[in-house]
Amino acid sequence: VRWGWRPHWATDRAPPINARVEKVAHGPFFRAIWPHRAITPVDGWYEWVDEGGPKKQPYYIRRRDGQPALCASIGQFTGSEHDGFVIITADAQGGMVDVHVRRPVVLAPGSARAWIDPAYPLEYAEQMALNMGEPAEEFEWFRVSTAVGNVRNQGADLIKPIQ
């Protein structure tokens, strides 16, 4: 399934890849897919920080325990060309704010199982997304090579910390 989704009537913009937790359950843009919850497991993600140099500095963010981050997501999963998904984001917390103002809503394994249970009520899912994301203390972040910014570059070196 493609990362990114937009409703059929929103032809004036590119499909967003993220949805703000504050609006996702009640806003018109994601109303059609709000009931269709998924988990997007990721090893980590990158954010770019303006540190005053000629280029923004990429940072890699991952769970401290090395486990995959289970990101709360919603999407359209019908088997059509319009399918896609978005990751739900919330305000960053703690020191993570220094890297970026938003972060994915990452759920603990038990919460992730409830999130994808179709019998789990939508109003509880909304409260889970708003209040039960893993705290900043569960993550670590560090500078990585600017080679991350070029899609031709691949490999484990892209997530190695640099000084």
Q: What is the CATH number of the domain that holds 80?
A: 3.90.1680.10
What pLDDT digit, counting tens, does each position of 42-73 carry? 999 999 999 998 999 999 999 999 999 999 99
- Residue 31 counted as domain residue: yes
- Residue 5 counted as domain residue: no
- Residue 1 counted as domain residue: no
At residue 93, the pLDDT reads 87
Domains: count for the chain: 1
Q: Is 156 helix (H, G, I), strand (E, B) or coil?
A: helix
Give CA–CA dist 46/62, Å, rounded. 9
- Residue 84 counted as domain residue: yes
- Residue 12 counted as domain residue: no
Determine the structural domain holding residue 143 and report its residue range: 18-159
- DSSP-derived secondary structure for 81-149: TT-EEEEEEEE--GGGGGT-SEEE-EE-HHHHHHHH-TTS-HHHHHHHHHH-SPPGGGEEEEE--GGGG
What pLDDT digit, counting tens, does each position of 14-39 carry? 999 999 999 999 999 999 999 999 99
Half-sphere exposure of 130 (CA within 13 A, CB side): 11
At residue 41, the pLDDT reads 98
- Residue 6 counted as domain residue: no
